[in-house]
């Protein structure tokens, strides 16, 4: 059965600047290359869900500009329903500027633009879309009150909520976490949220328990090339190792994980470890390619990689 996934979040056009290393303060550094791609944490997660087989809808906002149309086309090309993506004349389409070094690590500067114009009325207009979903995903590149309104609508309709607390913020309303079924931070975001440094599995358990105390039902902490740790409020816990590959660009790896996870996860999370393994496989493909949208794999590619490993 195909999962129905709704993503509410950001749409950005990424400018990727390939550099040997990050420049020091006051330093001028030559670039290897410059390229453009669709991105934004929200749209990355939506495309990852859609390409991995989910029936995916997107709620977001773009500017009245060519970048906005570029993003609409990019989403449609991956089979994403964009009926709930609206246009504002008050801001330009979101953008991100990605500094990518020779080791495949990145630093990202984000212009929120139209993403910050998304509002609670947009959620109300999309109530039927949310109510008809199995899962809804959001992040923090759009306003917090919008995320909470969407999750409350979801919970009123038995829709499973997935919160990616990124970019990291310390002040997250308890009312939002209380309606978050699954919280998926990376280790940095987990530390920002809980104040607990992630150094080993014991610290992950401690951080997860603190998130449970805040209201989260299930926690997955992604740890880059190591894999993903999971912990449920009932005490189920474990670590699913990542697949060993050579990364050339880690952009969208975490977003691919979340989108791919939502495409496979059962609503009761009874197949949590299998869904995490699938998401790890999808992310391992993403990091071997350049860009955000261009790097996100299809279901056929994920299944082929899994078959080749056996």
User: Is 43 part of any known ligand binding site?
Assistant: yes
The CB-side HSE value for 233 (13 A sphere, CA atoms) comes to 15
Catalytic residue from among 55, 122, 134, 255 = 255
User: Is 12 part of any known ligand binding site?
Assistant: yes
- Secondary structure letter of residue 298 according to DSSP: P
* 3-class secondary-structure state, position 164: coil
Between the two ends of the chain, the Cα-to-Cα distance in Å is 25
Residue 241 is a catalytic residue: no
User: Is 263 part of any known ligand binding site?
Assistant: no
User: Is 249 part of any known ligand binding site?
Assistant: yes
Distance of CA 218 to the CA centre of its chain: 16
DSSP 255-272: HHHHHHHHHH--TT-TTH
Q: What is the Cα–Cα distance from 100 to 251, expressed in whole angstroms?
A: 9
User: Is 254 part of any known ligand binding site?
Assistant: yes
User: Is 295 part of any known ligand binding site?
Assistant: yes
User: Is 222 part of any known ligand binding site?
Assistant: yes
User: Is 61 part of any known ligand binding site?
Assistant: no
User: Is 226 part of any known ligand binding site?
Assistant: yes
Q: What is the Cα–Cα distance from 66 to 187, expressed in whole angstroms?
A: 36
User: Is 291 part of any known ligand binding site?
Assistant: yes
Q: What is the Cα–Cα distance from 224 to 265, expressed in whole angstroms?
A: 20
Give the DSSP H/E element, type plus range, for residue 70.
Answer: helix 66-77
Long-range contacts at 144-148 (CB < 8 A, ≥ 24 apart): 144/172, 144/173, 144/176, 145/120, 146/8, 146/118, 146/119, 146/120, 146/122, 147/8, 147/176, 148/173, 148/175, 148/176, 148/179
Cis link prior to 253 (omega < 30° from 0)? no
User: Is 289 part of any known ligand binding site?
Assistant: yes
User: Is 255 part of any known ligand binding site?
Assistant: yes
User: Is 40 part of any known ligand binding site?
Assistant: yes
User: Is 224 part of any known ligand binding site?
Assistant: yes
The CB-side HSE value for 261 (13 A sphere, CA atoms) comes to 32
User: Is 194 part of any known ligand binding site?
Assistant: no
User: Is 66 part of any known ligand binding site?
Assistant: no
Tokens of 3: 């999962």
Give me the active site residues, please.
255
Binding-site members for K(+) are 249, 251, 286, 289, 291, 295
| Residues in the annotated binding site | 12-14, 40-44, 141, 186, 222-227, 249, 251, 254-255, 280, 286, 289, 291, 295
Binding residues for ATP: 186, 222-227, 254-255, 280
């Amino acid at each position: 059965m195909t999962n129905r996934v709704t993503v509410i979040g950001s749409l950005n056009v990424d400018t990727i600047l390939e550099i040997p290393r990050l420049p020091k303060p006051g330093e001028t550094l030559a670039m290897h290359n410059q390229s453009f791609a669709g991105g934004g944490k929200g749209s990355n997660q939506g495309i990852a869900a859609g390409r991995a087989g989910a029936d995916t809808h997107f709620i977001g906002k773009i500017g009245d500009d060519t970048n906005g149309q570029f993003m609409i086309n990019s989403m449609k090309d991956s089979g994403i329903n964009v009926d709930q993506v609206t246009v504002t004349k008050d801001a330009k389409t979101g953008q991100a500027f990605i500094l990518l070094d020779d080791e495949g690590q990145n630093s990202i500067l984000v212009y929120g633009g139209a993403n910050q114009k998304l509002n609670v009325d947009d959620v109300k207009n999309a109530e039927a879309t949310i109510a008809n979903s199995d899962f809804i995903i959001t992040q923090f590149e759009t306003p917090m009150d919008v995320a909470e309104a969407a999750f409350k609508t979801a919970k009123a309709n038995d829709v499973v909520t997935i919160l990616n607390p990124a970019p990291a913020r310390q002040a997250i309303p308890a009312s939002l976490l209380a309606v978050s079924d699954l919280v998926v931070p990376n280790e940095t975001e987990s530390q920002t949220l809980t104040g607990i440094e992630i150094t080993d599995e014991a610290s992950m358990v401690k951080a997860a328990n603190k998130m449970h105390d805040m209201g989260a039902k299930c926690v997955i902490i992604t740890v880059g090339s190591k894999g993903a740790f999971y912990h449920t409020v009932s005490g189920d816990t474990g670590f699913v190792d990542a697949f060993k590959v050579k990364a050339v660009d880690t952009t969208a790896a975490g977003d691919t994980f979340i989108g791919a996870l939502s495409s496979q996860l059962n609503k009761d999370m009874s197949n949590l470890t299998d869904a995490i393994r699938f998401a790890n496989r999808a992310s391992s493909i993403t990091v071997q390619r350049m860009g955000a949208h261009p790097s996100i794999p299809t279901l056929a590619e994920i299944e082929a990689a899994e078959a080749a490993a056996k």
